[in-house]
Amino acid sequence: MASHVDDTCDAAMPPKDLTNLDEDESKTMHDAAPSLADASAVVEEPVVGTDSTSEQVHALELENEALGIELGRSHAREARLRATAADLTERLEAVTAATVRPENAESKQVDLLHQHIRQLQETLDEVERGRQHAVFKISELAARVHGTADNHAVEAEWIQKTKHDFELLNQRTRLLLAQQEERHAAALDVAMRRLALEHAAAMDKLRLDNDIRWTEWRHEESRRMKEVEAAMEADKSSVRLAMKHNIESTRIHQRVTVPYTLVRMQLDALRTRRMDALKKLCLVRISIGRTRLYAAWMRWNVHGSSIHTRKHLGAHSMATALARCRQQAIRRRFQGWCLNTRLYHWQSIHNSVLNQILAVQRLHHVVYLRMVSLPPPTPQAATLVTLTALADKHIFIEYPLATPFTCASFQVDELVYVSTSTGKVKKSHPADDTSNGTSTGRLFARGKVVDVAPPQYPGRVKIEYKDGSAYHANPSRLTPRLFRPNAGSAQVGVIVTAKTDHYRRLARTQITSTDIVLEIGCDLGITVDSIADIVGPSNVIGVDKSHDSIQIAKDSYPRCRFVEMDIFHSRDDLIALAADCTKVLIDINGNRLLPAVVEALRLVLEGCHKVDLVIVKSVEMHRERCKK
């Protein structure tokens, strides 16, 4: 009978630790052999003199050490044998507990393993007896060494005999282990072959059982199919009988229901005539109702038309009133603009008259000085005279202005620059307010003035940006055009400032996108680049006499145009370069002496005829202008 033990079970396979055990024992035997040889070599050395006891003692000590090493290795081999025996016993117990019905082949294999364990135990006992005998011999040898040294020849013979006995015991142990290994290999081979045969027999039996079941199932299926076919034939005959019965029943029903159908048709005709009469009556009533509804709808339509007409008349009157209000607002703004224009015109006339009076007084003073034969004026005085003459001919504006911006400083449809708010600042005294005459905060964007005095926001100016959004700004946040040239006037506006941030703010706020700009003293090109964002790189030129500054500017801002030129030695080139310019900026070092700045300004005002505004940064000129 085939065995039903699983192929993966440890009981069906040979113990894996036996081969390892045999290898360890063989290694131990081979390792022990050199030690014994060394010991024999020590003993076989010739004794130099019969009375050299110390040499014999030394040889005995070496032999004692070799036997001790061999004893330790025997202990290790004994421990491994005991561990292997315990492991095999545990495996046998586990296999015995797991196997419910052991078969004959498995029982034989277990018996074989038990026999192998008993043989290993006997071998272990023999090794232990040999080890004890060796220990006894070593002790006896040590006792004799401590005794007299006269019988050294007898002791040497006894030592040789002991070694011979130990070698015989060792060879016997090796033979026993080799025989055990051969028997174990043969038993394992037999067990494996038996297990393979049993497994093949079990597989054949399982295949035969499967074929038998498959044949029985096919037989059952064929029988069931025959029964189904017989049942289907019986169903067909029953269906035919049912159809015949239904046909006969239908014929009988038709014979019975024909008279009943005629009576029903007559009743339906009578009912139809009655329904026609009711329909005609309903149509008459519906026509009367529709007539009444139409009359009511006409009355409601007339009433709604009158209400709609009144609504349109009211909307027209409201639109007329709103248009009248807009016209009045436009008229008020126009009147305010006319008033501001007149005030500005009167202020210009007043400034020109005052400038003429001052010029007459200066001329009178000069004539008086010449009449009293004073020494000739100094270069500084001549520079001041030139500056005064330029101020008489053109309009000078000192920035920041003396008075702060108000709503009257702006005109409707004027382009202004809006700056961001800097927050609330505590002011200790009005004289310390640095925002007088200048806008504060970072420049934000340009906007158009829509209303200078909105009634909802008094003291503010309504600004409209390009995107259509509006904002009511504080006048201190706005920067208007400080110089508005009159049509047909030859006067040029000159704005003088002393600080670099004011100079760059004026360069951004007083220049529009239609201007052509020239900056004299552009240095590293920072202001030229900011102006290029407004007018475009092709409509701005930077001039400076420093070669290094021009080179740095070209490297930093390659889109802009920079020219290396000394304006005092190349006046014709400067005039040709600025022939089409409408705005000129002069910044030849803010601490430059006044004569050089005045000479540069005079050169621009006299040589550039299309210029309508000049922005100058000079500490000396600003100080002189503020004195007046």
Q: Judging by DSSP bridges, how do beta strands 443-451 and 461-464 pair with one another?
A: antiparallel
The amino acid that residue 300 corresponds to is W
pLDDT digits (tens, 9 = 90+) for 341-378: 888 888 788 778 878 887 887 787 777 776 654 455 55
The amino acid that residue 584 corresponds to is V
Q: Per the structure block, which two tokens stand in for 428?
A: 């200790």
DSSP 38-81: HHHHHHHSPPS-TT-HHHHHHHHHHHHHHHHHHHHHHHHHHHHH
Residue 618 is predicted with a pLDDT of 93
Check whether the bond before 485 is cis (ω within 30° of 0). no
Residue 436 is predicted with a pLDDT of 54
523 within domain boundaries:
yes
According to DSSP, residue 474 is labeled: -
Cα torsion 599, 603, 606, 611: sign: negative
Domain range for 143 is 106-219
According to DSSP, residue 376 is labeled: P
Residue 224 is predicted with a pLDDT of 83
Distance from C-alpha of 187 to C-alpha of 315, rounded to nearest angstrom: 122
Residue 516 shares a structural domain with residue 474: no
Q: Which residues contact 481 (CB under 8 A, 6 or more apart)?
A: 414, 415, 416, 510
Task: Give helix then strand counts, H and E, for the chain.
Answer: 11, 12
What 3-state DSSP class applies to 614? strand
Residue 487 shares a structural domain with residue 602: yes
Residue 471 shares a structural domain with residue 490: no
What 3-state DSSP class applies to 373? coil
| Torsion (CA) 224, 227, 233, 239 in degrees, nearest 10 | -90
Q: Per the structure block, which two tokens stand in for 301?
A: 């339509």
Residue 179 is predicted with a pLDDT of 81
Residue 608 shares a structural domain with residue 469: no
pLDDT digits (tens, 9 = 90+) for 199-250: 888 888 888 888 888 888 888 888 888 888 887 877 777 778 888 888 888 8
What 3-state DSSP class applies to 453? coil
Distance from C-alpha of 402 to C-alpha of 388, rounded to nearest angstrom: 20
What 3-state DSSP class applies to 458? coil
35 within domain boundaries:
no
Residue 584 is predicted with a pLDDT of 96
Residue ranges of E strands in 474-558:
478-479, 493-497, 517-520, 540-544
Residue 168 shares a structural domain with residue 277: no
Among candidate residues 615, 444, 440, the one with its CA nearest the CA of residue 518: 615
Based on the number of CB atoms within 10 Å of its own CB, is 92 exposed (0-12), middle (13-18) or buried (19 or more)? middle
91 within domain boundaries:
no
According to DSSP, residue 588 is labeled: S
Single residue among 188, 219, 250 that ends a domain in this structure: 219
Residue 126 shares a structural domain with residue 153: yes
3 within domain boundaries:
no
The amino acid that residue 579 corresponds to is A
Mark residue 429 as left, alpha or beta (left: phi above 0; alpha: psi -120 to 50; beta: remaining).
beta
Q: Which residues contact 591 (CB under 8 A, 6 or more apart)?
A: 619, 620
Distance from C-alpha of 464 to C-alpha of 73, rounded to nearest angstrom: 108
Q: What is the CATH number of the domain that holds 458?
A: 2.30.30
Q: Per the structure block, which two tokens stand in for 27?
A: 């290694």
Q: Which residues contact 173 (CB under 8 A, 6 or more apart)?
A: 29, 123, 126, 127, 130
36 within domain boundaries:
no
Distance from C-alpha of 90 to C-alpha of 104, rounded to nearest angstrom: 21
Q: Is the pTM of this model over 0.75?
A: no
Distance from C-alpha of 347 to C-alpha of 351, rounded to nearest angstrom: 6
Residue 233 is predicted with a pLDDT of 79
Residue 398 shares a structural domain with residue 517: yes
57 within domain boundaries:
no
Residue 127 CB coordination number (10 Å): 20
Residue 359 is predicted with a pLDDT of 82
Residue 290 shares a structural domain with residue 347: yes
Q: Judging by DSSP bridges, how do beta strands 493-497 and 613-617 pair with one another?
A: parallel
Check whether the bond before 400 is cis (ω within 30° of 0). yes
Residue 353 shares a structural domain with residue 304: yes
Residue 302 shares a structural domain with residue 155: no
Cα torsion 535, 538, 542, 547: sign: positive
For residue 5, the surrounding DSSP H or E stretch is none
157 to 44, 66, 170: CA distances (angstroms): 11, 19, 20
Q: Which residues of the chain have pLDDT under 50?
A: 1-51, 99-103, 373-374, 426-434
Residue 487 shares a structural domain with residue 614: yes
What 3-state DSSP class applies to 335? helix
Angle between helical axes of 17-44 and 53-98 (0-180°, round to 10): 170
The amino acid that residue 258 corresponds to is V
Q: Judging by DSSP bridges, how do beta strands 395-398 and 493-497 pair with one another?
A: parallel
Asked whether the beta carbons of 482 and 411 are under 8 A apart, the reply is: no
Residue 306 shares a structural domain with residue 274: yes
Q: What is the CATH number of the domain that holds 531?
A: 3.40.50.150
Distance from C-alpha of 92 to C-alpha of 129, rounded to nearest angstrom: 28
Residue 19 is predicted with a pLDDT of 43
Q: Per the structure block, which two tokens stand in for 181?
A: 């290994």
Residue 218 is predicted with a pLDDT of 82
Overall domain count for the chain: 4
- Residues 323-356 as b/e (b if ≥16 CB within 10 A, e otherwise) read eeeeeeeeeebeebeeebeeeeeeeeeeeeeebe
231 within domain boundaries:
no
Residue 154 is predicted with a pLDDT of 67
Q: Which residues contact 18 (CB under 8 A, 6 or more apart)?
A: 84, 88, 116, 184
372 within domain boundaries:
no
Distance from C-alpha of 5 to C-alpha of 107, rounded to nearest angstrom: 12
Residue 36 CB coordination number (10 Å): 17
Residue 545 is predicted with a pLDDT of 92
